[in-house]
Structure 1
């Protein structure tokens, strides 16, 4: 069999092994999440319950309108919780599969980028979990002032809340994305500073689209941190540019160093030769003077002995 086909079969086997391992980790994580489903559900319900309390509703509960709605919902939550719980192991299995195709420099970047990305995503999720009760309190208080009874469907609330968690986690990746683009020289701090007004407009539009409710309060909960992260990203881009400029200046200085200059090497070689043969220095001076007197045309001295050139040519 062709060696390329053998190599392809080997990669397919490695991929198959990685997929099986990932499925096993997902199964283990889902089982663990299912065993603590009550605590997990309480954690997810807390922002709405706390928001209802702040909005003046002490007697607040969720509703399910389908017979199998509860168990189907808990299965989805257990699967999602298992994925989050085993996320590190899943990433490790993927890394074991792709690391051999990366260079040492690319692997070094992964070691830096991946932990920072996870930390930023967790920060976004935590921030969302902290500020969401205030958002729910505002919405419920507004409904109470209208004289409308607030009744939440559990599945709708969870979709809404999980969507917010995901969007906040992704929004907090902004510094990392701009840092990566700056390394590729696709963005510059000058361009980002010149277009910061447009960036704010785009951030507001994204927040308005992503936020499920049309009120400006919830929109600013997402837009505000994104604006702060944008300007923090400008600082990161400037740091990347300064490091790149410093590295390039050092490279230029090394290339322009007298020890590396070809002209300097030739001069050093000539100086060494004249030191070994002092009569060469006098000969060089004589030739330079003769060159200046003849206007750049050195005379050709006739040869007296034809035998020195190998005899007369026929």
Structure 2
């Protein structure tokens, strides 16, 4: 009795024909897209709440619904009013916000589908590194996004302060959402810098000593980035972003130095019992080869004496 293809035992190393790979990729993509569509439809019923959550920090700092005394203290008397332009803009904005929420909240599903497709082709130590990078990268990105969300009110106060007196500032809602999304992505990716340095060190591209030699340039670059990303005259706001990145950078340097020391110790000890040693490919002279060949000859062949006219007994 023939077994069906579904009942066949899978290869433990994940090997399969090309057609099976393409079929699995199609199934993984279908599941990921289905999860995104479902979450997007559900988020469409709450897109007003999502927009309020995104725009609340800016409205609390520079919104025109505040009293004149509060505005005078917060943004020098200037305020911004969020507007929506066009007849189709509210509908397209709802689709945009819902789709963004669907991609974000369905990320555990499509990330798992991506991992399930890639993982069978990885070795055990490669899976260990992948788990470590994913488990570290996600919290770092969320920490950067949180810092971006926390500095939005201060950024809005500074930017709205450039509005000339007597001029109303009308802020389109789609532009505001693009600004918030851009800041969240930039801050989140900036917190991934230490993880990138650690990955380059593990692959042998750079050493911890070289990274340590960059510390002056890195501190200057991180400070300039923080100053541009947070256009505020308050140095505490700038340090609130630059400080964590400094700490993460020096943490990556410390990890790289320890990893380099461990690598040098392992090379000094030589290969393990189950590892193959390096081949000696140095060319030898012909005389040396003949001497070595004679020394490696069997005991019966080492002597040049002949027995009954033959080299050996046979």
Cα distance in 2, alignment partners of residues 18 and 112 from structure 1:
23
5+ residue gaps, structure 1, are 1-5, 257-307
1:275-294 pair list within 5 angstroms: none
Q: Which residue pairs with 2:83 in the alignment? A: 63
Number of equivalences: 253
Tell me the equivalent position of 2:249.
Answer: 233
Displacement, 1:162? 0.9
The TM-score with structure 2 as length reference comes to 0.70
Assess if the C-alpha contact under 8 Å between 2:222 and 2:246 holds in 1: no
CA RMSD of aligned residues (A): 3.3
Q: Which residue of 2 aligns with 1:108?
A: 128
Tell me if the contact between 1:47 and 1:133 (Cα under 8 Å) persists in the aligned partners: yes
Measured in 1, the distance between the counterparts of 2:22 and 2:123 equals 21
Which residue number in structure 1 is paired with residue 137 of structure 2?
117
Matching of residue 93 in structure 1 with residue 113 in structure 2: yes
Residue number among 203, 207, 222 corresponding to 1:184 in the alignment: 203
* Residues 34 and 78 in structure 1, CA contact (< 8 A), matched pair in contact too: yes
Q: Distance in 2 between matches of 1:159 and 1:218?
A: 25
Q: In structure 2, do the counterparts of structure 1 residues 88 and 157 end up closer, same or farther at CA, with 3 Å as the change threshold?
A: same
> For the Cα contact (< 8 Å) 1:62–1:153, is it kept in 2?
yes
Q: Residue 46 of structure 1 is aligned with which of 39, 47, 56?
A: 56
Describe the superposition over 1:186-237 as per-residue Cα deviations: whole angstroms up to 9, x where unpaired.
Answer: 223332332333334544665688x5x9x56599967863564245323323
By percentage of residues, which structure has more helix?
A: 1
Q: Which residue of 1 aligns with 2:36?
A: 26
- Aligned equivalents of 1:32 and 1:246: distance in 2? 51
Secondary structure of the structure 2 residue equivalent to 1:67: coil
Name the CA distance, whole Å, in 2 between partners of 1:311 and 1:151.
113
Q: 1:309 to 1:192 in 2, by over 3 A?
A: closer
Partners of 1:189 and 1:234 within 8 A in 2: no
List gaps (5 residues or longer) in structure 2. Answer: 1-15, 67-73, 273-304
Change (3 A) 1:310 1:155: closer
CA displacement at 1:47 relative to structure 2: 1.9
SS in 1 for 2:17: helix
Separation in 1 of the partners of 2:258 and 2:75? 50
CA contact (8 A) 2:222 2:242 kept: yes
Residue pairs, 1:106-185, within 5 angstroms: 106-143=126-163, 146-185=165-204
Question: Normalized against structure 1, the TM-score is what?
Answer: 0.70
Distance (Å, rounded) in 1 between the aligned partners of 2:76 and 2:170: 14
* Counterpart contact for 1:143–1:150, Cα < 8 Å: yes
CA-CA distance at 1:142 after TM superposition: 4.2
Cα distance per residue 1:128-153 (max 9 Å; x no partner): 11111111122224436x44322211
Compared CA separation, residues 312 and 190, structure 1 to 2 (3 A): closer
3-state SS in 2 of match to 1:176: helix
Choose the corresponding residue for 2:103, options 83, 86, 107.
83
**Conserved? CA contact 1:200–1:227, under 8 Å:** no
